[in-house]
Amino acid sequence: MTTPEVTGLTAPLSALLGKGTKTGTADPAAPSAAATAPAVPADSAPGTSAATSPATAPNMGAAPGAGATVVPAAAMAGLPGMPPVPSAGSGTGGATSSAVPGTASAAPGAEHYLGFAAVPGMSAIPGTSAIAATQTVPDPNSVPATGTVPGVDAVPTMGTVPGMDAIPTTGATPAASAVPAPETAATVPTTPAVPGIPAAGAGPASVTQQFPGAQRGAFSPEMARRDVPILHRLVNGRPLVWLDNGATTQKPRQVIEAVAAFYGSANSNIHRGAHTMARDATALYEAGRAAVADFLGAPSPEEIVFVRGTTEAINLVAQTWGRANVGPGDDILVPVLEHHSDIVPWQQLAAETHARVVPVPLLPDGQIDQFAYADLLSSRTRLVAVSHASNVLGTVPPVAEMTALAHRYGAKVLVDGAQAVAHFPVDVQALDADFYAFSGHKLFAPTGIGALYAKPELLASTAPWQGGGNMIESVSFDRTTFAPAPHLFEAGTGHISGVVGLLAALDWLSSFDHEAIAAYETQLLAYAQQVLAAVPGLRVLGEAPDRIGVLAFTLAGHDPTAVAQALDLEGIAVRSGHHCAQPALAHYGLDSAVRASLALYNTPEEVDQLAASLLRIQQS
């Protein structure tokens, strides 16, 4: 296979930076990165400030649900169970089909996309650019029609993997009669057709703030599903029903392609190089930081520290700010519903500093007992650590009110946003949170990347956690001086491609109206609650009025792991076990449960499949 000449950044990356496909030299008409991104450490080589400004990265004008780029089919080929892609000329009657609905047209210069070598025998992903001489889809109704994208070179013929499942046809939803009808008929969620659709009830969807940095595009779960390749595969001969979003979300093609494009045309270390590719990589990395700040409503990118995920963010705060500010006799308040990553680091800190970790009890419905919380606060309280949404009960606590009360006692508040950020708008300034952490992989981005927001005065007064390159200004055997935040807390080479993937994920998510997403998910949760209530012996944990689409449950007479394994045989992926939240399960006298967790691409039909399968398990 002949690799075409590459003249600069490829279409996916240049689109994320808000520019055409050019070489990495600075655009004279564009502001420099130094004007819009946080200052880089002093060990950067001269010339790094010439990178093109990332300021427009979060606000790309992609079509709703489409992101901003075109999929390089060969670069993304080979996921087990993935179906082959129709050629440009395939389709009903052999006529050339139209472009995929809802996807973006080729960005200028897309023909320069690096020719990634195809994995032998691997098929590509539905909805990608044209591929010569591939097989046709067994059921053309199951995949949106694809067409040739102007200006994109065709990829050489790619075969299918022997034994690979063909693309699923539109599966028949289990008959409604399979699940006994509840006394009150379940209301099937309606797809928001226009921005700003009101929520079906109280909860996170009723938040009226605008998603910071988001474009007000239309939303439907079908639009989202079109962009997520893995949702079109088979598992155990059945169409995949992914209901394990609380553990990790699936990735849209825009994220997959951006990561591939980075390694194909922009791979370089950041901040430490005067050459073009170092400037390109640095611009992408700092564009990711600016996008996260915009996403969280933070005043400045300099308040965003990149970490591996929520767990590392919490440990960073515990081992830096915590060591300096928590001492003997001090209290750290932690609600019982917290994930282990928001309990264990504080226990370790308390053991080291002779402080106390004080659990805040729950009410029977899974809400935090606010009266007990108010009683536990005192002048000894140094920190309150609370989830913005529970990973096992789905509870959304009144974080803003809890933060305001903690601040009256001079305590700081850390918010674990891992389960919240994908479901409803977040504004750290409105919350007045001192620290806010989240993981990219629960936000449709790659694993191993996350972010910590902290108020600037806290970052400025906090000592570094790890030492090494990137976090220094100068080093000698007599004295070392450090770079300012956020680089002070990013020792060594960071997860650069992960930041590129996170940037692409935020760009994709911002192409939808986030309030419409929250409204749809609230309706879908209400529907799931009604349908599952009709399954005999099924008990859902928690009934908090404000919650996200997390449904932990038990099925009478059945072990949770056995239930999850039985569902897997029908292509339904759920989680079983303690969910890294043993104190929360102990509140209900349990040590294990099944958990189905919803996301924007899930549908009422998938909820019906779950309920019908659970009914069959119960009757077996």
Catalytic site positions: 580
How many whole angstroms separate alpha carbon 369 and alpha carbon 387?
A: 14
Best CA proximity match to 452, nearest among 433, 471, 425:
433
Q: Which two tokens stand for residue 226?
A: 């079109």
DSSP letter for 6, please: -
Best CA proximity match to 573, nearest among 125, 81, 187:
81
**Interhelix angle 604-619/560-568, nearest 10 degrees:** 120
Helices (H), 454-513: 456-460, 496-509
Helices (H), 334-385: 344-353, 370-376
89: burial class by Cβ within 10 Å (0-12, 13-18, 19+)?
Answer: middle
* Residues 522-560 as b or e (16 or more Cβ within 10 Å = b): bbbbbbbbbbbbbbeebebbbebebbbbbbbbbbeebeb
Best CA proximity match to 423, nearest among 203, 190, 160, 140:
203
Residue type, 153: D
How many whole angstroms separate alpha carbon 599 and alpha carbon 423?
A: 7
How many whole angstroms separate alpha carbon 523 and alpha carbon 229?
A: 25
How many whole angstroms separate alpha carbon 386 and alpha carbon 398?
A: 10
Q: Which two tokens stand for residue 13?
A: 């990356």
How many whole angstroms separate alpha carbon 181 and alpha carbon 160?
A: 43
Residue type, 503: L
HEC string of 182-247 equals CCCCCCCCCCCCCCCCCCCCCCHHHCCCCCCCCCCCCCCHHHHHHCCHHHHCEECCEECEECECCC
Strand, helix or coil for residue 475: strand
- Contact assessment for residue 110 and residue 151, using Cβ atoms and an 8 Å cutoff: yes
Radius of gyration (C-alpha) of the chain in whole angstroms: 25
How many whole angstroms separate alpha carbon 446 and alpha carbon 11?
A: 20
Helices (H), 266-341: 276-296, 310-317, 323-325
Which residues, in sequence order, are CB contacts of 491 under 8 Å at separation 6+? 464, 465, 466, 467, 468, 469, 470, 471
